[in-house]
Chains A and B, each alone.
Chain A
Amino acid sequence: MATAPSDYVFQDEFTADSTYEVGEAVSLWKDAWRRLTSNYFALFGLAVIVLLLLVAIVSQFWTPYPTWKQGIGPTYGGPSAAHPFGLDQVGRDILSRLMGGAAIALAVGLGTALLSSVIGIALGLLAGFYRGWVDTMISLLINVWYGIPDLLVVMLFVVIINSRELKWIIVAISITAWLNMARLVRGQTLALREREFVEAARSIGTRDVGLLTRHILPNALGPIIVQATYLIPAAILFEAFLSFLGLGAPPPEPSWGAMCAEGYKSLQLAAHVTLVPAFALAITLIALNAFGDGLRDALDPRMRR
């Protein structure tokens, strides 16, 4: 019965109705967004982050009073209508400084997350993809780096650079913060390079750069984003800590950590000088972590229903 088709037939003479074939497609990201928005704690985090972002942007153009101006009102003045959060030890408006501090916190958080992600991703990809001696060297670097206290690295860096400008603070924190990202990306890459679609890409003649950028990195993006959102609060906290020690952004920059440190000396006299920035810091950290957790759960395919 079988006859060789003289000319190629596209399909059988009979073609099925396609109307009912492909079901409604739900993309991973759309699905993740749905799950994220049904997680109230993560939504609270997101709301705080958006608020913070707005405040940070506004602070660049307008604050109730200049953040550096001293003697606006009574030193250690308590909250009042003109100064809702009161005044600090040199009579600066705390609300204005808090707003300026939001910008610094976000700059440090985002800047560090970005820079250390770039370092971590690059090294992680190389180690995981090429394995062998490349991996050995990078893994050795990671392990040695882990052994050196972060504070030591940052202090040495600040001393060597001899500048406490914000951008150098960001660089300093970044060179201590990329380790976890590198480990994560290395692990992801090791797993992904064995996946069949990477093998398939190799079989169609894709170069290494293409394998890394088109096939491996996009598929590791979920965990990378989650890791990066955890880097932000960690960097903010670290900068606050540095400022508290007097190693952070130089005065009169309104860093929240520096504000806490300055108010700390007069905690009993005027608690609000310390408590207000400390509270802002705490809320920010909680919000960012909540958002990170929510994002992690939302992107976890096992939570998919």
Chain B
Amino acid sequence: MMKEKNLRHLKRYSRQMLFSGIGPEGQERLSMSRVTLIGCGGLGSVIATSLVRAGVGKIKIVDRDFVEEENLLHQILYDEEDARKHLPKATAARRKLLRMNSSASLEAVVTDVHYGNIEEIVAGSHVVMDGTDNFETRYLMNDACVKGNIPWIYGAVAGSRGMCTTIVPGVTPCLRCIFPQIPPPEHLHTCDTSGVLLSIVQTVGSLQVSECFKLLTGRQTPSGELIYCDVWEGTCVGTKLQRQEDCASCQKEEYPALKAREGASVTALCGRNTVMITYYEPKGIHLETLAKKLEPAGRTEVSPDMIMFHVDTYHLVIFPDGRVIVKGTEDPNVARALYSKYIGN
């Protein structure tokens, strides 16, 4: 029985094992590895697909978002049905990935990443992969990974351009060495503001995956370079990065992103006409109980993953971890008001 399984395994991954950079020992190491992917949009789709097909042992997929039609261009894991059903990306991704590799061990976590849960999310990972679309989350990942001595691989795209680098605590510069602080989010280019080409998403995601395999198989030490690509110009170049002597994360060990901002809620504009509210709620929200409370006020649809609640011209999507996405306004105060009126704090 065991033998039969091994033979199947050998056949399935034979082409990867033939590649000298991986080999049979490398494949064995991949199969025993634990990788956490934070964010499963464009880059995350490419990363998750590659990790699962390559036979990485355990993969945790963390995402706060749900599938929408405009995701289908460059988020290759999702399809029209996922968008119609507004499925959480982590759940939809897991389902699809299991069809690619039924022996994969996949954990889907539908949650917002914040200072209260990031250390727990990355704990025990051999490598953490960046599939996020914002620097706030990347700073959290950076500080938690540097503190926990876990390598992580930064990647970002917009338009036809993208960049990535491997961050190994104590060895390479960390994200805060490269970008000590970040300009206001409204001045940063994302896929929502500059558009994006699927080809750059696939390029950067694939570079991240190759870096990940090098770390997991222990075959090569990271270069400490940042790789920059522009698929429209057809260029790809490396830039050597420097560690900063006064870095608050990897030198002073202050980890500013992990400092509790107690009592505060995080309200972020995410996409057009949408505000997200996160209250750090250790106990979470019991969806069925809340749905009963909401039903008299407006149309309420409840599923194991979320509640969709429609009131006036607003649509609220409520997740069990206490996170709420308010559609129909860009005003954080309106969103907060709806939150306290219908969900409470």
* A, B assembled together: no
